[in-house]
């Protein structure tokens, strides 16, 4: 089989890239190691930046998002009992939308089916080949048979553990990483959210977040050990801990119920450079990971893909390689800004092991600056809304 672009990974990055290329008349085949049900079953965040919303709408993918998504004009930050709302619309004239990543993926899958484009699921041993030359390809096994897909370029949209980045020679790639000494214990529950907007809470017992997926489904998190045993947390224990951290006002209105999903997410910051290796491009989680504190993961993936798709359109339509040549540097500028913001939010709001009194006061000073300085609040709002 042959195609112009071989895309490894059918998460949001790979599916969106495939859709954008389809709209541009560029052939792309997506190869995914997992099943469609597995891909859709992954629980992920769902804060959509203003720019991401524009990209999805421009690609004809926003109808359900616009009908069902929740527009948020701000967030609240609670710091040791002091609760402050930051009005994004007033500060920077933009908003975010809450619409689950699972729903974005479902919309992308539906668009790909409607286009009649090829996605190969349950592909084992996916391996990129010869991307340092003129004739790259990927191989994979399915139903016991090894298949080969020849192409012009390979897009590695296969996540942190996927084969694309690991196929790059060690000497050709630089990795930057910060592993945080804690995780987030998250619970999904079919109850209305405790507040109309997200609440980020810093407490001496640890961070907490009140989020949602819809008007009737909520997502809550508490900071925990990175190796926390989920089985040690009953629903009652989780709700008791969450109440302690989010303050009396929110705790009094919290609607609890049986969890429908409970898991621990480790926190890390991770970036690789460059993002292009001959005819192989990395995008999404294959290229970077951000702590969820800044709500940047899905939005960064969409940004990567938009830049790469534009470069590939120029290559095929105008015979210009300027866009794909600039892809890595252009995407990395955005990536590092998002990494900085997520790192800053994480440092301001979490309880770190062995934190000194001086460091705790610095956290408070950061919050006070946001509360008291419009310029500081505007900078935060600009980064949060994208």
Measured CA angle at 376 (ends 334, 307), to 5 deg = 15
Give burial (CB, 10 Å; 0-12/13-18/19+) of 185: buried
CB atoms within 10 A of CB 293: 23
Active-site pick, 99, 140, 180, 384: 384
Catalytic site residue 19?
Answer: no
H/E stretch holding 293 = none
Alpha-carbon distance 181 to 269, whole Å? 12
Catalytic site residue 315?
Answer: no
Measured CA angle at 181 (ends 165, 211), to 5 deg = 85
Catalytic site residue 140?
Answer: no
CB atoms within 10 A of CB 125: 11
Q: Report yes or no: 383 and 344 within 8 Å, Cβ to Cβ.
A: no
Active-site pick, 12, 19, 22, 72: 72
Among all chains, which residue has been given the structure tokens 């930046």? 49
HSE-CB at 15 with a 13 A cutoff on CA atoms is 26
H/E stretch holding 84 = strand 82-87
Active-site pick, 200, 220, 221, 315: 200
Catalytic site residue 89?
Answer: no
Tokens representing residue 9 in the block: 């990974």
Active-site pick, 163, 296, 327, 350: 296
Alpha-carbon distance 108 to 123, whole Å? 19
Active-site pick, 99, 140, 292, 327: 292
In this structure, the dihedral spanned by the alpha carbons of residues 376, 377, 382 and 386, taken in order and rounded to 10 degrees, is: 120
Residues recognised as catalytic: 72, 200, 292, 296, 384
């Amino acid at each position: 089989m042959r195609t112009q672009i071989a895309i490894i990974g059918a998460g949001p990055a790979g599916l969106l890239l495939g859709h954008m290329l389809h709209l541009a008349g560029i052939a792309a085949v997506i190869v995914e190691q997992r099943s469609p049900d597995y891909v859709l079953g992954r629980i992920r965040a769902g804060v959509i930046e203003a720019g991401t919303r524009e990209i999805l709408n421009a690609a004809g993918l926003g109808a359900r998002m616009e009908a069902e998504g929740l527009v948020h004009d701000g967030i609240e930050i609670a710091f040791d009992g002091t609760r402050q709302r930051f009005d994004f619309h007033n500060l920077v004239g933009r908003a975010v939308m809450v619409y689950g990543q699972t729903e974005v993926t479902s919309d992308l899958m539906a668009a790909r089916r409607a286009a009649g484009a090829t996605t190969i699921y349950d592909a084992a041993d996916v391996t990129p080949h010869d991307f340092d030359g003129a004739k790259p390809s990927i191989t994979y096994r399915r139903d016991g048979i090894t298949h080969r897909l020849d192409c012009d370029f390979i897009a590695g949209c296969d996540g942190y553990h996927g084969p694309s980045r690991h196929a790059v020679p060690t000497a050709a790639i630089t990795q930057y990483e910060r592993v945080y000494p804690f995780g987030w214990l998250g619970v999904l529950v079919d109850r209305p959210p405790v507040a109309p907007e997200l609440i980020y809470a810093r407490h001496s017992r640890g961070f907490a977040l009140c989020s949602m997926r819809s008007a009737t489904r909520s997502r809550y998190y508490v900071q925990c050990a990175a190796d926390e045993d989920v089985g040690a947390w009953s629903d009652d224990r989780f709700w008791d801990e969450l109440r302690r951290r989010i303050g009396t006002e929110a705790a009094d209105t919290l609607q609890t119920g049986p969890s429908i999903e409970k898991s621990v997410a480790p926190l890390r910051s991770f970036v690789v450079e460059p993002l292009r290796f001959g005819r192989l491009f990395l995008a999404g989680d294959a290229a970077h990971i951000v702590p969820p504190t800044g709500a940047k993961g899905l939005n960064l993936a969409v940004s990567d893909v938009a830049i790469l798709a534009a470069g590939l359109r120029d290559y095929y339509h105008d015979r210009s390689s300027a866009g794909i040549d600039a892809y890595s540097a252009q995407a990395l500028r955005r990536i590092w800004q998002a990494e900085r913001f997520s790192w800053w939010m994480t440092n301001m709001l979490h309880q770190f092991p062995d934190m000194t009194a001086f460091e705790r006061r610095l956290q408070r000073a950061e919050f006070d600056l946001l509360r008291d300085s419009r310029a500081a609040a505007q900078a935060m709002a600009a980064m949060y809304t994208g």
